[in-house]
Structure 1
Amino acid sequence: MQSEPTTVCFAAGHPAFAGHFPGRPMVPGVLLLDAALHAAVQARQSAAEDQGRAVHCQIASAKFLSPVVPGEPLTIVCTPTAAGHTRFDISGIGRPVATGTFVFQSVP
């Protein structure tokens, strides 16, 4: 079951833009991955998975499809896969921005 879409927007004043890149800022991939991970964890908690247990997460794949500028609204959707992983899709205004897969494992 697909999660409810999560929206995020990185303000122009975010400290990451100071070095990424001066004069032509764009959202670093690590911020996109962090936002996707938070959305995936929230979706898993909503589905009552892993409650009360420590969980390890691995990025199985990530592809950045289009640059994102400061202030651009983004939508993140997380979907469980048949293999039990979590796929994330991030879209900007009228275009895909990033996609990938997280693998979650409970820690004994």
Structure 2
Amino acid sequence: MSEPLWRTPLRMPEDHPCLPGHFPGRPLVPGVWLLEQVAQALQAWRGERLARIVEAKFLAPLRPAETAELALTERVGRLRFEISRDGVLLARGVIEGAP
């Protein structure tokens, strides 16, 4: 990934209401929550809404209360995201925004 143009920390609280049904006893942060954070970051960065997720790959889990970092970049006209924790890539993808 090229140099990020937008960075923001991510952390899901341990008492988030979606967690009881998402792997009880050993909860994981749902991918849909991570993608919602991508959408919010795009809005904060460029004032755009998330129009389309072109691709998304989830490579490693994130647990509640762990802190990760979301980075957004634009390269060759494509918006890309990466989510990492302690140097480990957790998710990456390509998105499209719209005004």
Paired residues, number:
97
Structure 1, unmatched stretches of 5+, are none
Alpha-carbon distance in 2 for matches of 1:42, 1:3: 12
Aligned to 1:9: 11
How well do the aligned residues superpose, as a CA RMSD in angstroms?
1.7
2:39·2:50 contact (CA, 8 Å) conserved in 1?
no
Aligned to 2:56: 62
1:11-70 CA deviation, whole Å, 9 max, x = no partner?
A: 11001111001011000000011111211221113xxxx6xxxx5610000000101111
**Structure with greater strand percent:** 2
Alpha-carbon distance in 1 for matches of 2:15, 2:41: 22
TM-score by length of 1: 0.81
Structure 2, unmatched stretches of 5+, are none
Aligned structure 1 segments of 4 or more residues deviating by more than 6 angstroms: none
TM-score by length of 2: 0.87
Alpha-carbon distance in 1 for matches of 2:6, 2:80: 13
Q: How many percent identity over aligned positions?
A: 36
Larger Rg, first or second structure (1 or 2): 1
Deviation, structure 1 residue 93: 2.4
Aligned to 1:102: 95
Alpha-carbon distance in 1 for matches of 2:11, 2:52: 24
With over 3 angstroms needed to count, the CA separation of the structure-2 counterparts of 1:96 and 1:79, relative to structure 1, is: same
